[in-house]
């Protein structure tokens, strides 16, 4: 059986190996939650915003502190990596795939960057949660033969004020993140290894499985 991993399924593996195993080995996914359409709408307008600056070979104002960086300008590649399956790499019969938001270049290297929409300005450590996501993107580009900068960036966008004219204004904040492709490699291989094994134990951080067992047990006695 071939497995298709992505940064979000690797995240699931980190959260709970059991949920991850059930998804891939038994096709039992977590119930869908209502996915707010606001972040995907914001991603769409941000891509158009970045494309306008790309045409003029400029950086958007929220990236102005990145001196010497440029927006990746090969649109045919970028379209492929943004849409469909994104960028992928085969590991035996399995694949890892990732869809990127945007890409920068600096000193002949590719620089990983991603947009994040939040309800408020990011906390000091908000960006660390995304270290593995960007490292997996970096791993994918390295495996496809590109040179990848060991520093990547997250651009946080958050609602700021509504002007008197009714115009909704968003604030933005740029955060630098360390790209660790070796860690990404270890994570991907551990996730694939877990899929070869038996059903893992429930995550100690999640009490839902234990609760469900208790409910089942009690219902049996009624």
Candidate list 5, 10, 19, 103; residue touching ligand SF4; CB under 6 A: 19
**Is residue 23 involved in binding ligand SF4 (CB under 6 A)?**
no
Residue 177: name the closest of 133, 131, 140 by CA. Answer: 131
If the CB atoms of residues 5 and 177 are measured against ligand SF4, the closer one turns out to be 5
**Is residue 18 involved in binding ligand SF4 (CB under 6 A)?**
yes
Candidate list 39, 159, 171, 202; residue touching ligand SF4; CB under 6 A: 202
If the CB atoms of residues 19 and 104 are measured against ligand SF4, the closer one turns out to be 19
Distance between CA atoms of residues 212 and 107, nearest Å: 54
If the CB atoms of residues 17 and 180 are measured against ligand SF4, the closer one turns out to be 17
Write phi, then psi, for 10 (nearest 5 degrees).
-65, -35
If the CB atoms of residues 121 and 215 are measured against ligand SF4, the closer one turns out to be 215
Give the tokens for residue 155: 């651009």
Write phi, then psi, for 196 (nearest 5 degrees).
-85, -20
Distance between CA atoms of residues 52 and 198, nearest Å: 50
Distance between CA atoms of residues 50 and 153, nearest Å: 15
**Is residue 39 involved in binding ligand SF4 (CB under 6 A)?**
no
If the CB atoms of residues 55 and 214 are measured against ligand SF4, the closer one turns out to be 214
DSSP 8-state symbol, 203: P
Distance between CA atoms of residues 133 and 179, nearest Å: 9
**Is residue 16 involved in binding ligand SF4 (CB under 6 A)?**
yes
The rounded radius of gyration (Å) of the Cα atoms in the chain is 20
Beta bridge partners of 173: 156
**Is residue 194 involved in binding ligand SF4 (CB under 6 A)?**
no
Q: Residues touching ligand SF4: how many (CB under 6 A)?
A: 8
**Least distance to ligand SF4, CB of residue 82, Å:** 30
Pinpoint the alpha helices (H) of 27-130.
37-55, 75-82
If the CB atoms of residues 14 and 74 are measured against ligand SF4, the closer one turns out to be 14
**Least distance to ligand SF4, CB of residue 194, Å:** 13
Task: Provide the binding-site residues for ligand SF4, judged by CB under 6 A.
Answer: 16, 18-19, 202-203, 206, 208-209
């Amino acid at each position: 059986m071939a497995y298709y991993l992505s940064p979000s399924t690797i995240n699931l593996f980190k959260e709970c190996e059991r949920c991850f195993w059930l998804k891939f080995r038994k096709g039992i996914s977590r119930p869908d939650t209502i996915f707010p359409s606001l972040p995907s709408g914001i991603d769409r307008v941000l891509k158009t915003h970045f494309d306008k600056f790309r045409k003029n070979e400029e950086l958007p104002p929220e990236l102005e502190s990145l001196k010497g960086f440029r927006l990746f300008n090969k649109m045919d590649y970028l379209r492929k990596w943004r849409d469909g399956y994104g960028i992928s790499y085969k590991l035996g019969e399995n694949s890892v795939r990732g869809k990127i938001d945007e890409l920068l270049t600096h000193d002949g290297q590719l620089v990983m960057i991603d947009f994040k929409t939040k309800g408020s300005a990011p906390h000091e450590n908000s960006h660390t949660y995304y270290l593995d996501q960007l490292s997996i993107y970096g791993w994918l580009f390295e495996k496809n033969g590109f040179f990848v900068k060991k520093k990547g960036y997250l651009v946080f966008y958050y609602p700021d004020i509504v002007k008197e004219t009714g115009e909704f204004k968003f604030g933005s904040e740029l955060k630098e993140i360390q790209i660790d492709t070796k860690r990404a490699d270890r994570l991907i291989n551990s996730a694939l290894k877990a899929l070869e094994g038996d059903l893992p134990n429930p995550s100690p951080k999640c009490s839902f499985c234990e609760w469900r067992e208790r409910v089942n047990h009690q219902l049996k006695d009624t």
